[in-house]
Structure 1
């Protein structure tokens, strides 16, 4: 699983994505579970949008629940993460191609 995660979200992509992620929303009621690991969620989201699988078929081996992955995808899409990530990785041709593919897949996911 670790090898797949590193292919889906290489270290250079994560380094570019980290600062672009919107801040986590505070829980007004306090308490609750600790927030999910952002990189694990990004890996799960990238898997779903690029593989074309349905959200409910996200394998549990990703360690992220379906509602969490979908909720974060929606929030990140609203924050224009995919376009910003493309711009942030444009200096690296291989990474730029991958992030552009992710952006295109995410756009199709939003509009279907």
Structure 2
């Protein structure tokens, strides 16, 4: 069942793209210790987590044969190493090669690219703020009874 779940959430074609992009396993100086969890199992667990929208605590560890802490630790390491960006770029490249993306219709959105505060100053601009009187509190009854 574990192997079936891993192949379901990290299919062979997906794994062939992801495997070369995953950072190499660090060498332990003293050797020994526990055997490193399988990268494909961890990737499958992370994909499951993202697709299911569940929290780390609800990750069904028996389904993938890894612990929650291992999945979270590896996710953090891979995020710091930029794996997700490289994986995204690789899939975009592959889709572009087989003409599955029309780049002429692409757009950039502020969610994808952060807008810099301040921007480029092009000189003096007129204030677009409302009239100061309009921002103050105004009460019709106060005017009538004065």
Tell me, yes or no, whether TM beats 0.5: yes
Q: Counterpart in 1 of 2:59?
A: 58
Q: Which has the higher helix share?
A: 1
Once structures 1 and 2 are overlaid, which stretch shifts more, 19-28 or 69-78? 19-28
Long gaps (5+) in structure 1 = 97-112
Long gaps (5+) in structure 2 = 101-146
Q: Counterpart in 1 of 2:28?
A: 27
Superposed displacement of residue 25, structure 1: 1.8
Q: Specify the structure having the higher radius of gyration (Cα).
A: 2
What CA RMSD, in Å, does the superposition of the two structures yield over aligned residues?
2.1
Report the TM-score, using the length of structure 2 for normalisation.
0.57
- Contact 2:5/2:64 (8 A) holds in 1: no
Runs of 4 or more, structure 1, over 6 Å off, are none
Deviations 1:37-88 (A, max 9, x none): 1101100111112211111211122111001000000011111111111111
Cα distance between partner residues in 2 of 1:4 and 1:34: 21
Deviations 1:15-39 (A, max 9, x none): 0111100111223342111111110
Counting matched residue pairs gives 94
